[in-house]
Structure 1
Amino acid sequence: MKKILVIHGPNLNFLGIREKGVYGEMSFNELNDYLLKTAEEMGISLEIFQSNCEGDLIDRLQQAYYDEVDGIIINPGAYTHYSYALRDAIASINIPTVEVHLSNIHKREEFRHTSVTAPVCIGQIAGFGAYSYILGMQALSKKLNIK
């Protein structure tokens, strides 16, 4: 069974509380339950990690290398736009990674239009709400040849 790690960045633990017009009504726990259920249906072993701290996210990415994780789905939150340290961590582990966003970052404030992490990912999915993560799982499944 292939192992996929979902990494949620800063403020995602406040889903269902913050800016519902942008991020939707689904709570963080509901999102994670949705992801776990979908992964099980797809025959994927899924681990979920969230932190508001850049260093914790980098530590978990590096640990994924040692844990022999097959693929990563990451929503770096605001770190998307300026964390070269996160970008370098993704690049260094050589694990297929998909960047996802609940909102369409290209339709929002100009500073959100640039991702420093996307160039080291196999792709970016944005604007489909919680389904962005499912699309990320499907993309990794294809990349990892999961039936």
Structure 2
Amino acid sequence: MRHDTGTAHTHPTHPGHGGAGWSVAARATLHCLTGCAIGEVLGMVIGTALGWGNAPTVILAIILAFFFGYALTLRGVLSAGVGFKAAVRVALAADTLSIAVMELIDNGVIALWPDAMDAELKDLLFWAALAISLAVAFVVTTPVNKWMIGRGKGHAVVHQSHH
């Protein structure tokens, strides 16, 4: 595997549509997790601090997870010299399914965890449930990204935009 070191957003290349390795999928998922975690934590903190109910807090967290997930991909694709309109298409193609799966699992774990939805910022349960839910989401989303990359979809689109 060759590494593209000409951008701030470094990825190995993926020739053709062959199978993707687990380390490639894990790196793509970690990238997705970073944006999701920023948005998820920020949304939960804002909603909880403002005393919002569960539904508006979760909705805000999901919106921010998508926003930051896409923003991190956009930053890398734009730094590779891709125009804004094309970069937006790349980010949407690369991250939509990954973020959606991650958010479904993450919020599902929190919703099913007893008392987690009622925990406050000062509670260990709030932070533990959030951290564990993101870890579970990472584990579940990695095979999804491996499957997509192996078929030239998902984060493989980001790699193609660099070349």
Question: Which TM-score applies when normalising by structure 1?
Answer: 0.31
Higher helix share: 2
Q: Highest Rg: 1 or 2?
A: 2
Higher strand share: 1
